[in-house]
């Protein structure tokens, strides 16, 4: 937030207000240490919106006249215009965005500006600003996610016919579609978008009218305030209202998980780029200052690195909260530094990830080259399953075929029918059809599988969902 405890703050007059509680000067270093205007000025619009709504609310209960309401609202509009036009001048003593806006309002309209803070605390004011800012920013992030999901799904559809090797433990496992692999990274991002949607209603609750901690002494209509500001409801407890930063923690934890998913995608692309299976566009790579042949996947490496930083922010701020007593404490001022930085990071990472996806080029030849007949060993076991042999037995039989090919130092698909029948007599001439990657892929046609129809269904589902976010 931006204030000390409310009993020692005022609308103006320097660090601890003009109420006369403190006589001595303040250490200049303390002034720098205490101020938040350098970063919370990002909430100027939300702060003015909250003040406009509050002016109307105290007008409704007769604390100020209709003419004073109009004077306050018009004056706040002029302050907003100065911010929009880049003409607002921050002055010494503007400790935070709240005092800065009220100071300027009073300069414009005179002493009536001092009535705006009646019954209001910077404690509930900053909580309101932060919630408004967070909800707006989260909705913008959902639009960015819609762009990424749409771009990635369309890209997957464009490359639906390309096959590649699927891995577990970084070991070749089974053939899959390239688009299936990409959709495997998009699927967790869909979950992330769903989680973010679920978080917004919890953040979108109005704390204004809670006062410093005990509530509002003038009976302001908090439901009116919530409606004016576009909140979905009001916070139920004034003590909790001024110190609740769950919505900040939720976003920090959310952004750590979402960036973890992007990091996993980045790592996969880095590996495939190393194997010459995917070419990264020059726009997202850099060269070496020494080695002219180098093309480094810097954008992907930075994406990978952002996830660790994100996790540290989430854990760090949660640790800050764990020991705080009720109600507001100045520790909470640190929330916005982390929140703003996390939001900026999320938007940048989503933009970079989207750019990487739509510009990267799969190399079908190298992707096919990474496939090997040994990856069809499970298909060989499935061949006998279709003849009525229990899978546990067919798994053992297929393993014996793999071992024979290794002993003979030949590819498993080159074993003759006689060699296969020497292992198990139930192999027949049609076993040769097993060694077809396309057939193998198309057999995986259950929901979520790698068959073409299954992947196309995944793509269409993501495209449909993304439309709900835009």
The CATH number given to whatever domain includes residue 346 is: 1.20.200.10
* Any domain includes 465: no
- For the ranges 45-59, 286-300, 337-351, 452-466, the lowest mean pLDDT is seen at 286-300
Is residue 288 part of the annotated active site? The answer reads yes
Q: Is the dihedral of CA 174, 365, 436, 440 positive or negative?
A: positive
Cis peptide before 327 (omega within 30 of 0): yes
SS3 212: coil
Q: Could you tell me the two tokens for 429? A: 């001439």
Over residues 150-200, the pLDDT tens digits come to 999 999 999 999 999 999 999 999 999 999 999 999 999 999 999 999 999
Task: Choose the final residue of a domain: 118, 134, 155.
Answer: 118
Domain match, 128 and 111 both: no
CA 335 and chain centroid, separation:
17
Residue 406 belongs to a domain: yes
Q: pTM of this prediction?
A: 0.91
Residue (of 402, 398, 423, 421) closest to 411 by Cα position: 402
Q: Does residue 461 lie in a domain region?
A: no
pLDDT digit string (tens) for 11-57? 334 433 444 555 666 677 877 787 899 999 999 999 999 999 999 99
Q: Which of 98, 121, 159, 169 is catalytic?
A: 169
| 270 and 302 co-located in one domain | yes
Do 93 and 147 sit in the same domain of this protein? Answer: no
Give dist(CA 167, CA 454) in Å, integer: 19
**From 38, 288, 396, 411, the catalytic residue:** 288
For 110, phi and psi rounded to 5 degrees? Answer: 90, -160
Query: Is 452 domain-assigned?
Result: no
Same domain, 236 and 307: yes
Which of 84, 118, 152 is the last residue in one of the domains?
118
pLDDT at residue 386 is higher than 50: yes
- In terms of domains, do 137 and 274 share one? yes
Where do we find the tokens 């500001």? 229
CB atoms within 10 A of CB 248: 24
In the structure, what pLDDT confidence band is assigned to residue 3 with cuts at 50, 70 and 90? very low
Clarify whether residues 383 and 257 are in a common domain. Answer: no
What CATH number did the domain enclosing 394 receive? 1.10.40.30
Percent of the chain with pLDDT over 70: 94
Residue 382, domain extent? 373-443
Residues 204 and 349 in one domain: yes
CATH number where 11 lies: 1.10.275.10
The radius of gyration computed from the CA coordinates of the chain, to the nearest angstrom, equals 31
User: Any catalytic annotation for residue 3?
Assistant: no
pLDDT confidence band for 264 (50 / 70 / 90) = very high
Sign of CA dihedral 443, 446, 450, 452: positive
User: How many structural domains comprise the chain?
Assistant: 3
Same domain, 209 and 311: yes
pLDDT given at position 10: 37
> What does the pLDDT read at residue 326?
94
Interaxial angle between packed helices 122-158 and 452-469, expressed in degrees from 0 to 180 and rounded to the nearest 10: 150
pLDDT of residue 74: 98
Domain annotation covers residue 247: yes
Residues 165 and 253 in one domain: yes
H helices within 22-65, ranges in order? 28-34, 37-40, 44-60
- Mean model confidence pLDDT for the chain: 93
Among the candidates 343, 369, 395, a domain finishes at 369
- Please indicate, yes or no, whether residues 233 and 127 belong to a single structural domain of this protein: yes
Instruction: Report if residue 138 sits inside a domain.
Output: yes
Same domain for 203 and 342, yes or no, is: yes
């Amino acid at each position: 937030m931006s204030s000390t405890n409310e009993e020692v703050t005022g609308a103006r007059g320097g660090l601890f207000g003009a109420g006369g509680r403190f006589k001595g000067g303040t250490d200049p270093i303390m002034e720098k240490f205490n101020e938040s205007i350098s970063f919370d000025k990002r909430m100027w619009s939300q702060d003015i919106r909250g003040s406009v709504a509050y002016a109307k609310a105290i007008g409704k209960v007769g604390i100020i006249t209709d003419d004073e309401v109009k004077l306050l609202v018009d004056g706040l509009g002029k302050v907003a215009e100065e911010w929009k036009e880049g003409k607002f001048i921050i002055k010494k003593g503007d400790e935070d965005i709240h005092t800065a806006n009220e100071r300027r309002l009073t300069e414009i309209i005179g002493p009536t500006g001092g009535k705006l803070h009646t019954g209001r605390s910077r404690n509930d004011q900053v909580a309101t600003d932060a919630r408004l800012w967070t909800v707006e920013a989260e909705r913008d992030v959902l639009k960015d996610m819609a762009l990424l999901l749409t771009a990635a799904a369309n890209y997957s559809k464009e490359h639906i016919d390309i096959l590649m090797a699927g891995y577990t433990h970084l070991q070749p496992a089974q053939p899959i579609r390239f688009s299936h692999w990409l959709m495997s990274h998009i699927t967790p991002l869909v979950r992330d978008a769903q989680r973010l949607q679920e978080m917004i209603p919890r953040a979108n609750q109005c704390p204004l009218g809670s006062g410093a901690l005990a509530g509002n002494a003038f009976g302001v209509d908090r439901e009116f305030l919530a409606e004016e500001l576009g909140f979905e409801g009001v916070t139920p407890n004034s003590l909790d209202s001024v110190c609740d930063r769950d919505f900040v923690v939720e976003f920090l934890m959310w952004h750590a998980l979402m960036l973890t998913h992007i990091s996993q995608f980045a790592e996969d692309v880095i590996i495939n780029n190393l194997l010459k299976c995917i070419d990264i566009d020059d726009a997202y790579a850099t060269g070496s200052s020494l080695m002219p042949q180098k093309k480094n996947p810097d954008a992907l490496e930075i994406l990978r690195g952002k996830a660790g930083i994100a996790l540290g922010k989430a854990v760090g701020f949660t640790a800050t909260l764990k020991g705080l007593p009720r109600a507001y404490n100045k520790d909470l001022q640190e929330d916005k530094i982390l929140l703003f930085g996390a939001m900026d990071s999320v938007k940048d990472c989503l933009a970079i990830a989207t750019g990487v996806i739509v510009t990267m080029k799969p190399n079908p030849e190298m992707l096919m080259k990474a496939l090997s007949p040994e990856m069809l060993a499970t298909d060989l076991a499935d061949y006998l399953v279709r003849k009525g042999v229990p899978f546990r037995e067919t798994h053992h039989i297929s393993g014996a075929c793999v071992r024979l090919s290794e002993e003979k130092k030949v590819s498993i698909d080159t074993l003759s029918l006689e060699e296969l029948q020497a292992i198990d007599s139930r192999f027949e001439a049609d076993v040769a059809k097993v060694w077809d990657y396309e057939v193998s892929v198309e057999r995986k046609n259950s929901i979520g599988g790698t068959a073409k129809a299954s992947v196309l269904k995944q793509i269409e589902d993501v495209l449909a969902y993304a439309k709900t976010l835009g």
